A and B are shown apart, each in its own frame.
Chain A
Amino acid sequence: DAGVIQSPRHEVTEMGQEVTLRCKPISGHNSLFWYRQTMMRGLELLIYFNNNVPIDDSGMPEDRFSAKMPNASFSTLKIQPSEPRDSAVYFCASSGGPRGYTFGSGTRLTVV
């Protein structure tokens, strides 16, 4: 099993540009989570999908952020327009049950 796959690993973009982060969960896992990690705020849950349906997006910071899960094997997190304060590491995680949450390697986003 390849684990949770995120792309890109690193992204540098200019303020105002659209950024799309991608995630492929572990096959068979029915829950998918997007987290953001910063020094100031630690690990924050942004949004959570169950069976491809968004369940809780209360952690999404503002309307510039959106997430989709068109099928069981793919999810995107989009920021449009991006701002310097969006710079962070974004993690995707998937779960097939209450005991197992597997994280991807993360995408380090830098907005200049």
Chain B
Amino acid sequence: AQKITQTQPGMFVQEKEAVTLDCTYDTSDQSYGLFWYKQPSSGEMIFLIYQGSYDEQNATEGRYSLNFQKARKSANLVISASQLGDSAMYFCAMREVIQGAQKLVFGQGTRLTINP
């Protein structure tokens, strides 16, 4: 069963607009963590933002914010005032603990293209 679902394979957004990248997850754990990573065409994995399952406030990091809706098991990434440099693959990931081992499980990603 898919643990992390990113339903948008690709998105095209006009520069300076806000964009929301969807992520839903599946877990029966009470304690877990949700991450967003950016992978530009150069290939590196860049950490963007983290949300813990017990965090009461939605996480924010500069232009990035995480719209965490625990009951709906969604953790959407919001990028405000998009820039051309935001064009990249974006991965949602969940940290889960299985038999004492922590795993970071990734979704399939969303390719975001920012148009000038």
Binding site for B on A (CB under 8 A): 31, 33, 42-43, 45, 48, 50, 55-56, 89, 91, 93, 95, 98-103, 105-106, 108
Q: Is the interface of B mostly helix, strand, loop or mixed?
A: strand
Contact with A along B73-116 (1 / 0, CB 8 A): 00000000000000000010001001111111111110000000
B68 near A: Cβ within 8 Å? no
Per the bound structure, the CA–CA distance linking A56 and B99 in Å amounts to 9
Contact with A98, one of B95, B101, B107 (Cβ below 8 angstroms)? B95
24 A-B pairs in the complex with CB atoms less than 8 angstroms apart: A31-B102, A33-B104, A43-B91, A43-B106, A45-B104, A45-B105, A48-B102, A48-B103, A50-B102, A56-B99, A56-B103, A89-B43, A95-B102, A98-B52, A100-B47, A101-B47, A101-B95, A101-B104, A103-B37, A105-B43, A105-B44, A106-B44, A106-B45, A108-B43
Give A43's nearest chain B residue, CB to CB: B106
8 Å CB contacts to A: which residues of B14-57?
A: 33, 35, 37, 43-45, 47, 50, 52
- A103 lies within 8 A of B44 (CB): yes
Binding site for A on B (CB under 8 A): 33, 35, 37, 43-45, 47, 50, 52, 91, 95, 98-109
Q: Is the interface of A mostly helix, strand, loop or mixed?
A: strand
- B103 lies within 8 A of A103 (CB): no
- B45 lies within 8 A of A91 (CB): yes
Per the bound structure, the CA–CA distance linking A106 and B41 in Å amounts to 13
Per the bound structure, the CA–CA distance linking A99 and B54 in Å amounts to 13
Per the bound structure, the CA–CA distance linking A51 and B95 in Å amounts to 18
Which residues of chain A are near B108, meaning CB under 8 Å? 42
